Structure 1
Amino acid sequence: MENLKIWVQKNGFTVILVGFFALMLFSPDAKAWFLRQIASTGILNSKIEAPKDNASENIENQPIANFSVTDVASGDQISTADLKGKVVFINFWASWCPPCRAEFPSIQKFYEKYKSNQQVVFLTVNLDDNPELGKKYLAKENFSIPFLIPSSEIPKEVFSGSLPTTVVLDKKGVIRLHHQGVADYSTANFYEQIDGLISEK
């Protein structure tokens, strides 16, 4: 026992480091907290792109292929084809995904700020194999974002399998932001970009 104490004293930093990585490996909430600290710096954020004339050169600024989701609470189906004239924020997430958990508080803040704005639509699409897990996660965290699940095939230009993925459509249904990975959507800069899309004709 005495030898163990001596070893720990000599290798304290190593013990702390191993403990930290073990926590990151086995605790989704710990991973989410760590990623949230990184995301809060803004270094992982993407920027909403300005419309371009040569839109065919990349995925942004191309008209979206339509898909549908179901609002679990109401049973209503929502099609992106019916959302022209609105700014659409789409986020694909799952309850088991630490980066999704990391960015969710910022999405909740963004939702609370714009939920009463009739020109902004939130499609927060859960991709858990069992949707009940996603519902339980939202309830546990007291998140009030819409709980939606896919009701049609999702086009690859919108979602290619990486979680989380966030897409923002302008009023013409054109992709103006396509971001894979964690980000902070509760910044003043992002709100300014959304307001810019709202003001576009």
Structure 2
Amino acid sequence: MGKKLLSLSITIFLLSVIIYTIYTNLKESTNKSVEVREEDLLQEFVDIPMDDTTITYQMIEEPVVHDHEEHAHGEGNLPSEVRTLNSEAPDFKLQTLTGETVKLSNFKGKKVFINFWATWCPPCVDEMPEIENFYKHHSEKNNVVVLSINSTDLETNKASIEKFVQDFHLTFPVLLDEEGAASYAYQVLTIPTSIIINEEGNLVEQIIGPVTEEMLIDKLSS
């Protein structure tokens, strides 16, 4: 009886050792697998490309959108684009800030320089003193009419236009395009845009971007 109990005890002990060994091996194998997977994930994260484009994109703020529909102000420091034209200038009739009515066709026999602008446009601000200087010192002797057309349909209020004119001491006529009809007729999509019309009332050039006094002297001098 004693020998049977001893044999049974030894058998149970051996089975316990075998079970424990199997359990330990399985546990170690599982841990190694988890560690390897963690290393793989870490390596995948490290290998994610983070080039300059991605970083720049993340730092870009939401653009400021003006409710200006088809019009857009020009970018500073960019050269103006000059397009040659050869067709009859569309006639228009607009009011000035002082309430006077100006009709383009009344100026046949004179060269006409038309400038489309808005108070919120930085390049327009830059070019205004240049246009004013040309108007004061060169327009009369060169038989040139200067008409400044404000894109009033894109302005917040007329008071801002009046303040702009006063701040820059503008003396040439400022016309109000309240419905955007003149801008549409002359296909003005970018501000500032200027138009040169010859003595016969025909379009000569369209200048997209700011102008300078020197440019106007070169293009409008007799």
Question: Which TM class, normalised by the smaller chain length?
Answer: 0.5 to 0.7
**Structure whose CA Rg is larger:** 2
Identical-pair percentage: 24
Q: Between Structure 1 and Structure 2, how many residues are aligned?
A: 147
Residue identity in the other structure for 2:80: L
1:46 and 2:82 correspond: yes
Match for residue 162 of structure 2? 135
Per-residue deviation, 1:80: 1.3
* 1:134-154 alpha-carbon deviations (Å, 9 max, x no partner): 110121222323221137722
Structure 1: gaps of 5 or more residues? 1-24, 26-33, 50-59, 197-201
Paired with 1:70 and 1:112, the residues of 2 have a C-alpha distance of: 22
Aligned mates of 2:93, 2:178 — CA distance in 1: 5
**More strand as a share of residues:** 2
Partner SS for 1:61? strand
- Deviation of 1:124 after TM superposition, in Å, equals 0.3
Q: Deviations over 1:105-137 (max 9, x none)?
A: 111111111344482111101123322211101
User: Who is 1:6 aligned against?
Assistant: none
RMSD: 2.8
Matched ranges for 1:20-59 at <5 A: 35=76, 38=77, 43-44=79-80, 46=82
**TM-score, length-scaled by structure 1:** 0.63
Q: Is it true that 1:167 corresponds to 2:192 in the alignment?
A: no
> 1:14-163 to 2 correspondence within 5 Å?
35=76, 38=77, 43-44=79-80, 46=82, 60-73=85-98, 75-117=99-141, 119-128=143-152, 129=155, 130-150=157-177, 153-154=181-182, 156=184, 158-163=186-191
* CA separation of 1:117 and 1:135: change in aligned 2, threshold 3 A: farther
The answer for unaligned runs of 5 or more in structure 2 is 1-63, 65-74
C-alpha displacement at 1:155, in angstroms?
Answer: 6.1
